[in-house]
Chain A
Amino acid sequence: MRAGAALLACCWAATAFAGEVRAPRAFLSPELQALQDDPARHPGWLWVEQGEALWRAAPPDPGKQTCAGCHGDITGMSGVAARYPSVASDGALLNLELRIERCRTEQQGASAFGDESEALLSLTAAIAARSRGQPVNVRIDGPAAARLAEGRRLYSLRQGQLNLSCQQCHEENVGKRLRGDIISHGVGTGYPAYRLEWNGLGSLHRRLRACSLGVRAVQAPFASPDYLALELFLADKARGLAVEAPGIRR
């Protein structure tokens, strides 16, 4: 009897949330919303400025071009972040960080900046900021379809010693308080984000590693196939929401 009633409650809640995904900004305190909206006070803008400098900086090999040398002014990157992650011509699913690393290694002949390095975070923030306010619109057809399906599977998989799926928190308990946080729909539109707890800028995969750790599950490495598939699933879930990066989070 009890189980039946609880199941009904669960399914009612699930349908009540289905389809409606609110922007992460809506879950921030008024103070953080104001900070996120104001580049003059937003600490993440230090990384944006650094990224814009790197965009124009000469690569280690003087025979190679700067990012700007091939792509022109960074304003030309408007709308790019809203299309990522995206499948490259060779079939690999790339998020913005991996796309930048490809140009760094293949076009500039340099060694990769490195996962979560300040340089990579800065360039990612600078490029993503050019899509601020634009609606997320990732491709999920063709070769992306299988990765999306994998992301969906991982999203509803109960994991870790605490045996919780992403969905149980970010769909079934949205708006409720978990410790000091209000649970949001858990989308990636604000990343890379400046997190007060990190005292710096961090990538979406760093945030996902925190969620994995929270349920005492194995933390996948940065840019792992699992987190990339989840990132694509989250971007599809966020379809139509505005890019907020760089976000501000507690």
Chain B
Amino acid sequence: MTACWHAPLVAACLLALAPAGASEVVPLQVSGDAIGQPLHGLSGDAARGALVVRNRETGNCLICHAIPDRTERFQGEIGPPLAGVGLRLTEGQIRLRLVDPTQVNPGAIMPAYHRVSGLTNVDARHAGRPVLGAQEIEDVVAYLASLKE
């Protein structure tokens, strides 16, 4: 477990989270409660992001969240509904909450989608890899930022 879950300062977390040898993960650059810059400077595509969010194998966000789409069956209610999230949060704030929500709330239930350190007993097929790659994160950020009502 990362000691950083209990550290009061985000700065203390940054050290603990700098992933050693995790080439697939972009190093964290947090300012305040946001990651202001797109990962690797990539630009996101909202239409692709909408697919990642719905994908039951990769993002699988709908096990825990509802999105404003009545045709999707079996939406979750563990996390807040994502309708209007583009009004509530900036792109940078959304990015940090996807990359590693424990930076915002140490007890977060939502998985860190772009972090590989501090995990226990990861299945070999997924070990050392983030749930979503940098491009997928940017696509999802673009999609969520477009949810303005």
**Nearest chain-A residue to B118 (Cβ)?**
A163
**Nearest chain-B residue to A226 (Cβ)?**
B121
Residues of B within 8 A of A213 (CB): 123
The interface size of chain A toward B, counting residues with CB under 8 Å, comes to 27
A179 near B63 (CB under 8 angstroms)? yes
The answer, yes or no, to whether A57 is at the interface (CB within 8 Å) is no
Q: A162-B131, A172-B109, A179-B62 are in contact. Are A217 and B122 (CB under 8 A)?
A: yes
Chain B: number of interface residues, binned into ranges: 20 to 34
Q: A157-B120, A162-B111, A217-B121 are in contact. Are A179 and B106 (CB under 8 A)?
A: no
The answer, yes or no, to whether A173 is at the interface (CB within 8 Å) is yes
For the A-B complex, the count of residue pairs with Cβ-Cβ distances under 8 Å equals 82
Residues of A within 8 A of B122 (CB): 159-161, 216-218
Which residue of A3, A176, A180 contacts B74 across the interface (Cβ within 8 Å)?
A: A180
B105 near A173 (CB under 8 angstroms)? no
The answer, yes or no, to whether A53 is at the interface (CB within 8 Å) is no
Residues of B within 8 A of A168 (CB): 109
Residues of A within 8 A of B75 (CB): 177
In the complex, what's the smallest C-beta–C-beta distance from A96 to chain B, in angstroms? 26
B63 near A163 (CB under 8 angstroms)? no
The residues in A between 2 and 61 inclusive whose CB is less than 8 angstroms from any CB of B are: 2-3, 6-7, 10
Which residue of B111, B123, B131 contacts A164 across the interface (Cβ within 8 Å)?
A: B111
Interface string of A186-210 (1 = CB under 8 A from B): 0000000000000000000000000
- The interface of chain A, by Cβ under 8 A from chain B, is 2-3, 6-7, 10, 157-164, 168, 172-173, 176-180, 212-213, 216-219
**Nearest 7 Cβ contacts at the A-B interface:** A162-B111, A6-B105, A180-B74, A161-B126, A159-B121, A179-B63, A217-B121
- The interface of chain B, by Cβ under 8 A from chain A, is 1, 33, 62-64, 73-78, 104-109, 111-112, 119-127, 129, 131
